[in-house]
A = this chain, B = another copy of it.
Amino acid sequence: VVNQSGPGRHPWVMYGRYTQELGVYAKEEAARLRDGGGLRRSTSVRSRSAELLEYEKDPCAKCHVCTSRCQKFLISRVGEDWIFLILLGLVMALVSWVMDYAIAFCQQAQKWMYGGLNSNMLLQYLAWVTYPVVLITFSAGFTQILAPQAVGSGIPEMKTILRGVVLKEYLTFKTFVAKVIGLTCALGSGMPLGKEGPFVHVASLCAALLSKFMAALFGGIYMNELRNTEMLSAACAVGVGCCFAAPIGGVLFSIEVTSTFFAVRNYWRGFFAATFSAFIFRVLAVWNQDEETITALFKTRFRLDFPFDLQELPAFAILGIACGFGGALFVYLNRLIVECMRKQKTINKFLLRKRLVFPAMVTLIISTLTFPPGFGQFMAGQLTQHESLVALLDNRTWSRQGVAEEFDYISHSHAWKHPQVNVFITLIFFIVMKFWMSAVATTMPVPCGAFMPVFLIGAAFGRLVGETMAVMFPDGIHADGSVYPIVPGGYAVVGAAALSGAVTHTVSTAVIVFELTGQISHILPVMIAVILANAVAQSLQPSLYDSIIRIKKLPYLPELGMGHHEKYNIRVEDIMVRDVRYITLSSSYRDVQEVLLIGQLKTLALVESTDSMILLGSIERSQLQSLLSLQLGPSRRLDHLRRHAKDNDTHTLDTHTHLSNLGNMDNPLSPPCTHTHSTSTSARHGVRFVVSVAEVSRTHARVMRVLNPLPQIAEWEEQQLDEPVDFNNCKIDPAPFQLVERTSLHKTHTIFSLLGLDHAYVTSTGRLVGVVSLRELRKAIEGSVTVTGVKVRPPLASFRDSGNNTTNVSEVTELHKLWNRHRGLSLPRDPTPVKNICEAHCN
């Protein structure tokens, strides 16, 4: 059901490699894109391994092309920003408006079919049910075929991407098309699905595509990743902004939902783009004669002079707390459904084979239950989400004045006011049914969000509380002369903001609700309810988006919640991996080979010597691989063979045959990742022969051993491997991020979030003692103790070190050792020399 994600597939971090200049980045990224494109285009022509070889020969060779262009566009940067944001806003407003139009048309068509067949109940039912089933099935199928990444909300993925992880397939044109069309169909079906979450994704897609388009037109600057991240966060604001015509709420919501640390200097981008987008979105409605002027989407008409009484505030507070519990329950229910279907193997297998059955089934059940002549009559089943919301925000009191008759839409009052059943029963049915329906519907593999359904349920719940209050206090609570009756619509507004705030763990739903209704008179009740709902929900469950991140196992750093007090007492030394892979300045190629065969980390530490362990920098895995392949590469191999042939004329024919072989064949690469350590050891003792070529394209192997039956080549290889590494052609990150052992988990989390780090080395006065990666940090925060090689601090750790100062002492001892060692070095040399580093490392 849940689409596959790319956890850690290509973790590109924004500040992680802060040591490289911005322009260099742009160049590299450009080169990577081009190379990537080049690879894809030529796959059919040449063999994969040959390409890989070519690709890894000099990844920087093609970088220098666009530097001057980069420079030019870095200068004209800000001007481009405005244009870009205007374009983005314009496109998104158009998309949003057209989509709304299409959705309204779809829903109208369903109404019309249903209304036209009112002679025959069965036909009516078939029409009512078939229509959404067809639309949802189409949406699911279309998305599945075109781009499975388009499924779901998109906010969790955007959160991950803005954290610095590259999920490239999430920002392609295919995904854009799949998302827009899939979303239109899904929403047109009338299921309880939302537009907001997917719209954040659509806006980001739009920004990414616009960036690419502009890059193709103007080059340079539009390939800058840092800038793209800024633009993506603006795009998220645009997504919410033009979905609800709520620019301020959109900006705040997108910040709360996607960011951990927000750069205030990027604030204006979001506001500018979201305002422009919301403006165009509403102007289109005016031009289309839908509206007379620009107003709010769900305009309310509450009294201004006395919006609510002071004594109603406890009711609002209780509403907020209840919404908090409701929000947590919704998140829990949603996760439960997904996990349940995953665990049930039979269901799971069946669903995996027939991917369209599940959405079709869910749609069938939901639309059967909402069939107006059936159960739907007790839960206003015939209304669309938009109509329901308009009705719920009505400023009349239903229980006393009856449901307002003068709505623009036909037959709304009938929907809520059943002849036999009380309006309270209808509301309770509506809330309960919609609650589980929304939780189930949002797990369908179609592009859909949960914000709007939750918002609607919250509004219904608020209306229920408000109507109850109106019945309890028919003349209002106010004791003085004038009578101010209670406004249940105000409760609906408060409930909507509180429940959606609880589910998403945001406070800015308050602002969204003001912008949606066009009235800010209920600001204090809304704020109180939203804050209380957040407090309750945050202490019970993660937010819906964090929950989805966990379900999809996206590479994300969880938040330090409010309950994590012990995080101040866990230190880096408790979670770090002490067995760091490193190479020294005097490492031989054999050491490099071994390190590459064992570890999995993307970067390797470079230390001065095994003895001093002073951290000098870090080298990317690929750099080492290319070093190794240079050393053992075919050109040097040929040189050696030629020299060997000259020296020793007996093997002339043999060698020449081999040489010509070497020239023609597509340098087969051995897949070292499949080697275990033992085979590698045996390989060192001469068993180095044919390796399968078939797996090459899958394993991305870089360590090469040319198919070679000659014993002198094996000998030559041994020699080559024993040579010390020449780091001259190697790109080294000269200042990787360093922590110390005593850094608290809280501080480590802050630094990782702030700088978007992927890993950090732990040093003690210059000496490398460990490494912490995102994985360890995540495990430590989530409290798992089952990490291999990672010791999680015992729960009693918080009582350690209280009263004494052991760490300080140990640090001093460390320094003392270092100092003494250094003394030993700089004073007249003692008889024990510095050991051969290579030996020390091999032992």
Q: Which B residues are CB-close (under 8 A) to A816?
A: 727-728
Cα A261 to Cα B836 in complex, Å, equals 48
Q: Which B residues are CB-close (under 8 A) to A264?
A: 255-256, 259-262
- A826 and B818 form a contact (CB under 8 A): no
Give the contact stretch, choosing among A110-118, A366-374, A411-419, A559-567.
A559-567
Name the distance in Å between A238's Cβ and chain B's nearest Cβ. 13
- B802 and A68 form a contact (CB under 8 A): yes
Name the distance in Å between A679's Cβ and chain B's nearest Cβ. 31
- B268 and A283 form a contact (CB under 8 A): no
**CB closest chain-B residue, reference A259:** B264
- B566 and A75 form a contact (CB under 8 A): yes
- B565 and A78 form a contact (CB under 8 A): yes
A518 within 8 A of B: yes
A803 contacts which of B64, B735, B803 (Cβ < 8 Å)? B64
Name the distance in Å between A512's Cβ and chain B's nearest Cβ. 11
Name the distance in Å between A284's Cβ and chain B's nearest Cβ. 11
Q: Which B residues are CB-close (under 8 A) to A615?
A: 766
A742 within 8 A of B: yes
Q: Which B residues are CB-close (under 8 A) to A650?
A: none
A519 within 8 A of B: yes
Name the distance in Å between A708's Cβ and chain B's nearest Cβ. 31
Within 8 A of B (CB), among A588-637: 606, 608-609, 614-617
Cα A586 to Cα B821 in complex, Å, equals 11
Q: Which B residues are CB-close (under 8 A) to A823?
A: 585-586, 724
Q: Which B residues are CB-close (under 8 A) to A448?
A: none
A460 within 8 A of B: no
A292 contacts which of B306, B751, B801 (Cβ < 8 Å)? B306
Residue-wise interface mask of A (294-313) relative to B, using a CB-CB cutoff of 8 A (1 in contact, 0 not): 11100101001111111000
Knowing A21-B744, A22-B568, A261-B263 are in contact, say whether A524-B71 is a contact too (CB < 8 A). Answer: no
Give the contact stretch, choosing among A119-127, A335-343, A804-812.
A804-812
Cα A36 to Cα B283 in complex, Å, equals 64
Name the distance in Å between A73's Cβ and chain B's nearest Cβ. 10
A78 contacts which of B480, B562, B808 (Cβ < 8 Å)? B562
A6 within 8 A of B: no
Cα A559 to Cα B295 in complex, Å, equals 36
A812 contacts which of B68, B728, B833, B834 (Cβ < 8 Å)? B728
Q: Which B residues are CB-close (under 8 A) to A571?
A: 21
Within 8 A of B (CB), among A118-164: none
Cα A329 to Cα B282 in complex, Å, equals 34
Q: Which B residues are CB-close (under 8 A) to A261?
A: 261-264, 754
A655 within 8 A of B: no
**CB closest chain-B residue, reference A615:** B766
- A510 and B248 form a contact (CB under 8 A): yes
Q: Which B residues are CB-close (under 8 A) to A798?
A: 71, 75
A521 within 8 A of B: yes
Name the distance in Å between A670's Cβ and chain B's nearest Cβ. 29
Knowing A520-B518, A531-B271 are in contact, say whether A565-B293 is a contact too (CB < 8 A). Answer: no
Cα A819 to Cα B617 in complex, Å, equals 13
- A819 and B727 form a contact (CB under 8 A): yes
Cα A812 to Cα B569 in complex, Å, equals 42
Cα A19 to Cα B614 in complex, Å, equals 18
A829 within 8 A of B: yes
- A616 and B766 form a contact (CB under 8 A): yes
- B22 and A247 form a contact (CB under 8 A): no
- B310 and A565 form a contact (CB under 8 A): no
- B740 and A735 form a contact (CB under 8 A): yes
Q: Which B residues are CB-close (under 8 A) to A563?
A: 78
A74 within 8 A of B: yes
- A268 and B507 form a contact (CB under 8 A): yes
Name the distance in Å between A182's Cβ and chain B's nearest Cβ. 30
Within 8 A of B (CB), among A507-528: 507, 510-511, 514-515, 518-521, 523-524, 527-528
A732 within 8 A of B: yes
Within 8 A of B (CB), among A719-737: 724, 727-729, 731-732, 734-735
A747 within 8 A of B: yes
- B734 and A740 form a contact (CB under 8 A): yes
Q: Which B residues are CB-close (under 8 A) to A292?
A: 306, 478, 480
Name the distance in Å between A100's Cβ and chain B's nearest Cβ. 18
Residue-wise interface mask of A (221-262) relative to B, using a CB-CB cutoff of 8 A (1 in contact, 0 not): 000000000000000000000000001100010011001111
Name the distance in Å between A161's Cβ and chain B's nearest Cβ. 16
Q: Which of A260, A310, A804 has the most CB of B within 10 A?
A: A310
A47 within 8 A of B: no
- B799 and A524 form a contact (CB under 8 A): no
Q: Which B residues are CB-close (under 8 A) to A84?
A: none
Cα A514 to Cα B520 in complex, Å, equals 7
Within 8 A of B (CB), among A445-473: none
Name the distance in Å between A21's Cβ and chain B's nearest Cβ. 5
Give the contact stretch, choosing among A101-109, A272-280, A423-431.
A272-280
**CB closest chain-B residue, reference A65:** B803
**CB closest chain-B residue, reference A265:** B559
A680 within 8 A of B: no
A18 within 8 A of B: yes
Name the distance in Å between A808's Cβ and chain B's nearest Cβ. 7
A7 within 8 A of B: no
20 more CB-based (< 8 A) A-B contacts, given A70-B802, A77-B568: A15-B747, A71-B802, A252-B252, A260-B263, A261-B262, A261-B263, A261-B754, A267-B507, A268-B531, A271-B527, A294-B524, A304-B518, A519-B519, A519-B520, A585-B823, A586-B822, A614-B614, A616-B765, A728-B815, A734-B764
A residues in contact (CB < 8 Å) with B: 15, 18-24, 60, 63-64, 67-68, 70-71, 74-78, 247-248, 252, 255-256, 259-265, 267-268, 271-272, 275, 278-279, 282-283, 286, 292-296, 299, 301, 304-310, 478, 480, 507, 510-511, 514-515, 518-521, 523-524, 527-528, 531, 534-535, 559-560, 562-563, 565-566, 568-569, 571, 585-586, 606, 608-609, 614-617, 724, 727-729, 731-732, 734-735, 738-740, 742-744, 746-747, 750-751, 754-755, 763-766, 798-799, 801-805, 807-808, 811-812, 815-816, 818-819, 822-823, 825-826, 828-829, 833-834, 836-837
A-B pairs with beta carbons under 8 Å apart, 10 shown: A15-B751, A283-B310, A286-B310, A294-B308, A301-B304, A304-B518, A518-B521, A728-B815, A738-B738, A825-B834
Closest 8 CB pairs of A and B: A616-B766, A275-B527, A735-B738, A734-B765, A520-B520, A68-B802, A19-B740, A71-B802
